[in-house]
Structure 1
Amino acid sequence: MPELPEVETTRRKIEPYLKGRQLIRLEHDAPHRYRQTHLAHGRTVSGLGRRGKYLLIHLDDAGEAPLELIVHLGMTGGFRFDATPHTRVTLHTDQGQLYFQDARRFGKMAVVTPGEYASMPTLARMGPEPLSEAFLELDFVQAAARAGAVKPWLLSQQPVAGVGNIYADESLWRARIHPAQTRLTPDEALRLYQAIRTTMAEAVEAGGSTLSDGTYQQPDGISGLFQVHHNVYDRAGQPCPRCGTPIQKTVLAQRGTHFCPHCQVLRG
């Protein structure tokens, strides 16, 4: 599933293409999945934002209240500059088309009033962005001291936005913390805080991770490059880059989880 680095890379690639353009219409055949998109017709894109794994396409119109087109890429969703066999939504603009493809059809869109996210509880309760000044070290350390198993806690999106399966595993490896560890000590929480910021910054710079299934590609068809820097994710049985111990894979909160049993020991 695309996580913050993949969504941020997508935002950066499509913003120059969409900003300032008028959306003539959004063409699709699934109104239950792409909700109220007719409200975007005739609106001008004033900019693109992002919260965690969500794209926020800002829509303005002279004399009308602003709207947002919220996009969640799901597991296999992404924008392309050319149509594909899996195109689900075509964004017709006054200067061309942009295509949303989604092989497994888990992606969603909705046009809402800015900030009105009651129908999207994950977005409504989302924590701070990991690379922003709002992601405060002290707040994270205090919250981690009360948390349950740390990986599911991160995946909830409440302590920090945009961390999914890949970047939780990678950050926990860097911080030397077992994914099932509960109630982090201040030292553990500080290491994890720093690991999240470092991992996310490097992954964004690399354009995200394109895995062996190839489902994530940048809008222009270019693959991300961060997968070549994965230390544990999708490397079960391979040696830990730090100590040489074979990486293990387990299931935690119904998610495949990769860790080094030597570097990431479960306390207690």
Structure 2
Amino acid sequence: MPELPEVETIRRTLNELVLQKTIDSVTVHLNRIIQLPEEVGEFCLLLAGQTIQSVERRGKFLCFMMDDFTLVSHLRMEGRYGLYDQKDPLELHTHVVFHFTDGTELRYKDVRQFGTMHLFPKGRELEEKPLKKLGLEPLAKDFTLAAFSNKLSGRSTKIKPLLLNQEYIVGIGNIYVDESLFLAGIHPEREADTLTRQELATLFEAIVKTLQEAVAAGGSSIKSYVNGQGEIGLFQHQLKMYGRKGEPCYACGQPIEKSVVAGRGTHFCPQCQPLKWKLKRVKKVKV
């Protein structure tokens, strides 16, 4: 699934490709992609004549800002957008086509067919699902250490699933949680309320640094991800933890371990990310 850096990269390329293009008509080949409105015909009718003013992002969602409406799109596992000439043959798994008045088309392809689209009157998109309950935006100006610490304070949940919970912090995802926790030297199974103020500050900085570097590299192409121009990301060449089970840690040389935390494959270095709080509790029991 594309995570924040990949979706942000797609957002930027789409702004280069479709800004100020006007929709002439829309063709939907797979109705279940359209979640709102309920009638696909209404979806197509409302978008006709709309001009794309900008493409924004909220967490892992793309938001196409138009004259009167906002189209909220989630790529899920393998959704992707591409700009084509209307004469180009339609490729397999193309489910939605936005026909522009200039003869080009924005096509949405999705092999797994898990992607979704919601259409809202402009300004209502943040008041309704799926954006309503989303948490802090980690690359926004209001993502501060104070806001981050406040979200995590008093939570006895393990830190990894807490960071993956989109109602707390949006968009980080499995790859970048593993990378951020390694950079901060925190074990993925540490409970959030055991982290010291310094550890919270270190983790906060690690999250921002990891995401900024990933965006600069165009995201990570682990499986099939490409941006709106068909280009792969390059951050996978900078990964320190994710996907490196059994390989030596770049910091200490110890083999990287992999376990399952909250149902997700999790990579960590047992030397650089010790489970200190657990060891302390065992010591107290023995005494």
TM-score, length of structure 2 as denominator length: 0.86
Alignment of 1:27-66 (within 5 A): 27-35=27-35, 36=37, 37-38=43-44, 39-60=46-67, 66=68
Partner of 1:210: 221
Q: Percent identity at matched positions? A: 40
Q: Which amino acid aligns with 1:21?
A: K
Does the 8 Å contact 1:71/1:110 carry over to 2?
A: yes
Distance in 2 of aligned mates of 1:129 and 1:119: 17
**Local SS of the residue matching 2:31:** coil
Q: Unpaired runs of 5+ in structure 2?
A: 38-42, 85-89, 279-287
Alignment of 1:167-186 (within 5 A): 167-182=176-191, 183=193, 184-186=195-197
Does the 8 Å contact 1:69/1:111 carry over to 2?
A: yes
The number of equivalent residue pairs is 260
Distance in 2 of aligned mates of 1:166 and 1:192: 15
Partner of 1:63: none
* 1:26 to partner: Cα distance: 2.4
Q: Which amino acid aligns with 1:74?
A: R
Larger Rg: 2
Does the 8 Å contact 2:178/2:268 carry over to 1?
A: yes
Structure 2 CA distance for partners of 1:230 and 1:125, relative to 1, 3 Å: same
Distance in 1 of aligned mates of 2:27 and 2:273: 48
Match of 2:107 among 76, 94, 99: 99
Partner of 2:282: none
Partner of 1:89: 96
Q: Are 1:12 and 2:23 matched, yes or no?
A: no
Distance in 2 of aligned mates of 1:100 and 1:125: 26
**Local SS of the residue matching 2:198:** helix
* 1:245 to partner: Cα distance: 1.1
Measured against aligned partners, the alpha-carbon deviations of 1:74-101 in whole angstroms (never above 9, x if no partner) come to 0111112345323221111112111111
Distance in 2 of aligned mates of 1:40 and 1:186: 49
Distance in 1 of aligned mates of 2:201 and 2:47: 43
Q: Which amino acid aligns with 1:68?
A: T
Match of 2:146 among 138, 141, 163: 138
Measured against aligned partners, the alpha-carbon deviations of 1:204-252 in whole angstroms (never above 9, x if no partner) come to 00000001x3x10112221100000000111111111111111111111
Q: CA-atom RMSD, angstroms? A: 1.6
Measured against aligned partners, the alpha-carbon deviations of 1:11-31 in whole angstroms (never above 9, x if no partner) come to 111112211111122212233
* 1:124 to partner: Cα distance: 1.2
Q: Which structure is higher in helix share?
A: 2
Moved more, 80-89 or 237-246: 80-89
Alignment of 1:70-89 (within 5 A): 70-82=72-84, 83-89=90-96
Partner of 1:163: 172
Distance in 2 of aligned mates of 1:202 and 1:220: 20
